[in-house]
Amino acid sequence: MDSEKEFFLKTSPTRLFFRAAVPGAIGMIASNIYFSVEMLMVGRFIGQTAFAGGNLAMPLLLIAYAVADMVAVGSSIGIALRLGEGRKEEADRIFTAAVISASLLSTIAAVALTAAGPMLFRLMGADDALIREAMAYLGVYTVFIPLTCLVFVFDNYLRICGRVRFSMVMNIVMALLCLVLEFIFLCIFDLGIGFAALGTSLGMSITCIICMMPFIRGRMALRFTRLRGVRDTLREIFVQGLPSFLNNTSGRITSIFMNSLLLHLGGDVAVSIYGVFMNIDGIIVPGMYGVFDSLQPAIGYNWGAKRRDRAGKIAFRCVIALAVMCAAFTFVLEIFPGWIFSLFLEADGAVVTLAIHAISIMGLTYLVRWISYSCQSFLSAVGKSREATVLSLCNALLFPMLMMFLLKGSGLEGLWYVMPSAAVLTSAVAVVIYFVQIRSRRQPCGALPAQEGA
């Protein structure tokens, strides 16, 4: 316990950033990259129909995982604040309640979504072949989700306990396990999309068991404890985790509507192009969240310890990192869109030309996305859930749905502009919240003061 306090409260902000945020971002990318690699292998070794089917099913799967992520993020905020205030027993109670509720709720969500899957896919306009591929993919994940969902939960708790490098290593190990198993099933044995899901599920399950063991053995700052009076604890978890859940779930709902429009206007080809971009987005966004998530405990510790000026300095370094990351990703997507598309699918010249045009437009999203993500993450870290929830809804649901409604009349060309335009509007709202809620009230955390010495 003392070592965690020493790490979060006394390490200089710059050194803290490089020791926590950099490994955390790498770990978050590694922990999510297997979905993109999985789709890459599906597109390469099975074909476009399986690739499109997997991308239709992916939003439903990620909604189920978003439930566990909500619990992980919501509980992490409360745990970090309690540990910063020296209230360890309460932190242990939140930890125990979160692990149990994450597994139960994610399983219920996965079973419900899988049962509703065929009807939803048919309403989206999918034919029987697409539905078969999507359900084969979704069904396997549902079987394993009581365990695999806890990967996201324990990843957060490892970082809270100061084991950022161990978290990074386990995420890399998980990505490699998933990659190897999927390669064996798809490339060597030439099996279907269900075995792609099986390979990833097995890799996640093995990693989850390894990550759980130090907590079960009592070797971490957080320990399992007997539950009592958990109603208030669960309410706090859900309130604090709501922005993350709304962001993740709203984004999946948006993807469902987007896929439906794309199916009607451009068929499997349009869904596949959008799917390629979303798989790249699935690498970029976790890296952005990883920077702030890794330092969320440090921000929470300092906030709980009434050192808000220091919390602002830590956040400042995260904001700069996100801006640099987004600029780099925009550059790559603008310069190499055709090469990126060809990684996932082999297609004729007309399809590749359309993909280059579409990905180049959607890649502009990251020019401004760092603004809203930075603001939302910082607000969540210090317990300002209402403002963070507003940004989550704007970013993932309200503005994308609005732009879909306004631009669908322009056909496929209009749909490619949905994400960049929504990102601009959300960033504008984030700037307003910053000046109204932080600068105008002169809160110490919001000033983002000059850097401390490294």
DSSP 236-276: HHHHHHHHHHHHHHHHHHHHHHHHHHHHHHHHHHHHHHHHH
7 vs 35, residue with greater confidence: 35
Q: What is the pLDDT of residue 308?
A: 75
**What pLDDT, on a 0 to 100 scale, did the predictor assign at position 233?**
81
State percent of the chain over pLDDT 70: 92
Q: Residue 1 pLDDT > 50, yes or no? A: no
- Of the given ranges (35-49, 105-119, 291-305, 341-355), which has the lowest mean pLDDT? 291-305
Q: Name the residue among 100, 110, 84 with its Cα closest to residue 298.
A: 84
What is the structure's pLDDT at 284? 86
362 falls in which pLDDT band (50, 70, 90)?
very high
With a CB cutoff of 8 Å and minimum separation 6, the contacts of 20 are 159, 164, 294, 295, 298
Which pLDDT score is estimated for 4? 57
If 0-12 CB within 10 Å is exposed, 13-18 middle and 19+ buried, where does residue 5 land? middle
Task: Quote the CA–CA distance of 168 and 155 in Å, as a whole number.
Answer: 9
pLDDT of residue 447 exceeding 50: no
Cα–Cα dist 355/280, whole Å: 13
pLDDT of residue 200: 92
Indicate the residue type of 338: G
Average pLDDT, stretch 37-55? 91
> Dihedral of the CA atoms 346, 348, 351, 355 (nearest 10)?
50
* Residue-wise pLDDT tens digits, 69-96: 899 888 887 887 787 778 888 888 899 9
- Please state the pTM of the whole predicted model: 0.77
Helix (H) or strand (E) holding 169: helix 164-183
Q: How far is CA 238 from the centre of its chain?
A: 17
3-class secondary structure, 132? helix
Number of neighbours of residue 402 by Cβ within 10 angstroms: 15
8 Å CB contact between 32 and 282: yes
Of 46-55, 255-264, 427-436, the least confident: 427-436
> Cα 341 from chain centroid?
22
Q: Which of 82, 59, 60, 434 is nearest to 278 (CA)?
A: 59
* Least confident window among 140-149, 343-352, 427-436, 442-451: 442-451
| Residue 100, pLDDT score | 94
- For all residues of the chain together, what is the average pLDDT? 86
Identity of the highest mean pLDDT range in 88-102, 220-234, 369-383: 88-102
Q: What angle, rounded to 10 degrees, do the helices at 230-304 and 48-84 form?
A: 70
Q: Which of 89, 21, 29, 81 is nearest to 286 (CA)?
A: 29
Between 156 and 45, the more confident residue is 45
CB 103 within 8 A of CB 65: no
Classify the C-alpha dihedral 62-67-69-70 as positive or negative: positive
| pLDDT tens digits, one per residue of 396-421 | 889 999 999 999 999 999 999 999 99
Q: What does the alpha-carbon distance between residue 247 and residue 395 come to, in Å, rounded to a whole number? A: 7
The full set of domain ranges for the chain reads 11-447
Question: Do 286 and 35 meet the contact criterion of CB atoms below 8 Å apart?
Answer: no
Going by C-alpha positions, the residue among 79, 194, 44 that lies closest to residue 132 is 194
Higher pLDDT, 321 or 84: 321
* Rg over CA atoms, the chain: 21
User: Which of the 8 DSSP states describes residue 189?
Assistant: S
Calculate mean pLDDT across residues 8-37: 78
Give the per-residue pLDDT at 439. 53
Note whether 415 and 269 are within 8 A (CB): no
